[in-house]
Each structure stands twice: as structure tokens, then as C-alpha cells.
């Protein structure tokens, strides 16, 4: 089976940034970068759009606050027992319930948003991944047709990749 991509293994961040800049400059769009830690230098080259996870947080939080108040109010009306001489629907104490459900649903939906967008859990294999990428090496995988892969190999080697191989 012919290769669909090529991976370069880098020991230095500046080399990896150089290779990535070069690949982007040559029009490679299908790129995956593996790095042991997130680095803003790599993010700057990849220039990705803002993560939509924040929208999940907003939706989760708004759902939470609505649910908390609705639940407290609806159940008070369903069982209208006067306690402590207070009105059946007493909003100040319900702020606590609304606050807690805001945080709870906000947090859980944020996590769900991360899972969806990062495509986790990942059951299959990740092309080009190497266990060294969770330790001290940075991996850049470029995908494309045979002619593009030849160019990518050259860029990765020239940038100082310690190892270049097909995936």
C-alpha cells in the first residue's frame, strides 16, 4: 500500500517550527502536529480558528441556571408548603441551587465539548504517532498525494528532522 503521509521527528522546537512554517508556506493544509506539551510557537504557525469549546461552556451554563431555577420553582409550586413563613417561591434561596447547577452543567458540557471537538475517545490508530511524542520529541505529519509527499520529505529533512518516514 502506498504512503498517505510522511512524518518527521524533531528533537528541537525551533526546527519543528521552521519545518511547519515551510510546509504551510508551500501550501500543505493537511498537517498534524504531535507535541509533548502545547506550545504557542506551533499554534501561531498553525493559526487555527478559536476552539468552539467556549460555546459549549456557555450553553451548559445557561442550561444549568435555567434548570436550577425551574426545578426549584416548579417543585415548590407542586408541593406548596409554607416553610419559615416565606413565600412559596422564594427566589433568594434558589440562587444557590441555580448557581450550583450552572457550574455543574457548565463543567460537564465543557468536557463534552472537548471530547467532541478533540474526537476523544479515540479508538483507532493515529497515523504517524510515535510514543516519543508524549516524551520529548515533536512530530509533524503531512498528508497528501505522492508528489506532495516527496516535497514534504525534503522540507522535513532540511529543517533538521531526526527521522523521516512514511505513514
Partner 1 sequence: MATLAAPVTDLSEPTYAEVNRDIVATLAPPTRTWLLGMGLVVLGVAFGGFCWAYQIKDGLGITGYTPPIFWGSYITTFVFWVGIAHSGTLISAILLLFRAAWRTAIYRAAEAMTVFAVMTAGLFPILHLGRAWFFYWVMPYPNFRGLWSNFKSPLVWDVFAISTYLTVSATFLFMGLIPDVAAVRDMAAGWRKKVYGVVSLGWKNSDREWQHFGRMYLFLAALATPLVLSVHSVVSWDFAMAIVPGWHATIFAPYFVAGAIFSGCGMVITILVPLRKALHLERYIQVRHFESLAKLCLVTSTIVAYAYGTEFFIAWYSGDAIERATFYNRAFGPYWWATWTMFTCNVFIPLLLWFKRIRTDLRALFVISIFINIGMWFERFVIIVTSLSHEYEPWQWAYYLPRWPELGILVGSFCWFSMWFLLFVRFFPVVAIAEVKEALPPPMRGGHR
The yes or no reply on residue 62 touching partner 1 (CB under 8 A) is no
Residue 30 as a binder of partner 1 (CB under 8 A): the answer is no
* 44 alpha-carbon distance from chain centroid: 16
Judged by CB under 8 A, the stretch of 8-16, 21-29, 142-150 that binds partner 1 is 8-16
Mapped onto helix, strand or coil, the DSSP state of residue 137 is coil
48 binds partner 1 (CB under 8 A): yes
Does residue 150 touch partner 1 according to CB under 8 A? no
Site membership for partner 1, residue 108 (CB under 8 A): yes
Residue burial 64-77, b: 16+ Cβ < 10 Å; e: rest: bbebbbeebbeebe
Is residue 121 close enough to count as binding partner 1 by CB under 8 A? yes
CA–CA dist 155, 118 (Å, integer)? 28
C-alpha distance from residue 108 to each of 64, 94, 139 (Å): 10, 21, 31
Select 77 or 150, whichever has its Cβ closest to partner 1: 77
Rounded Cα distance between 107 and 130, Å, is 32
Phi, psi (deg, nearest 5) at residue 76: -65, -40
Q: Are 34 and 138 in contact (CB under 8 A)?
A: yes
Check residue 66 for interaction with partner 1 (CB under 8 A).
no
* Candidate list 44, 70, 120, 157; residue touching partner 1; CB under 8 A: 120
Positions in the binding site for partner 1 (CB under 8 A): 11-15, 32-39, 42-43, 46, 48, 51, 53-54, 57, 61, 71-72, 75-76, 78-79, 81, 83-84, 86, 90, 93-94, 96-97, 99-101, 103-104, 106-108, 110-111, 113-114, 117-124, 126, 129, 131-136, 160
Amino acid at each position: 500500500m502506498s504512503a498517505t503521509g510522511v512524518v518527521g521527528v524533531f528533537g528541537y522546537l525551533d526546527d519543528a517550527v521552521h519545518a511547519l512554517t515551510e510546509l504551510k508556506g508551500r501550501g500543505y493544509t493537511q498537517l498534524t502536529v504531535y507535541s509533548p506539551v502545547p506550545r504557542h510557537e506551533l499554534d501561531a504557525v498553525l493559526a487555527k480558528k478559536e476552539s468552539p469549546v467556549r460555546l459549549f461552556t456557555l450553553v451548559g451554563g445557561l442550561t444549568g441556571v435555567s434548570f436550577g431555577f425551574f426545578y426549584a420553582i416548579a417543585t415548590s409550586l407542586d408541593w406548596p408548603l409554607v416553610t419559615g413563613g416565606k413565600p412559596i417561591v422564594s427566589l433568594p434561596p434558589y440562587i444557590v441551587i441555580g448557581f450550583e447547577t450552572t457550574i455543574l452543567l457548565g463543567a460537564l458540557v465543557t468536557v463534552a465539548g472537548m471530547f467532541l471537538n478533540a474526537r476523544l475517545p479515540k479508538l483507532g490508530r493515529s497515523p504517524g504517532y510515535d510514543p516519543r511524542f508524549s516524551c520529548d520529541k515533536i512530530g509533524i505529519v503531512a498528508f497528501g498525494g505522492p508528489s506532495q509527499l516527496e516535497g514534504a520529505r525534503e522540507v522535513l529533512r532540511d529543517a533538521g528532522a531526526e527521522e523521516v518516514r512514511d505513514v
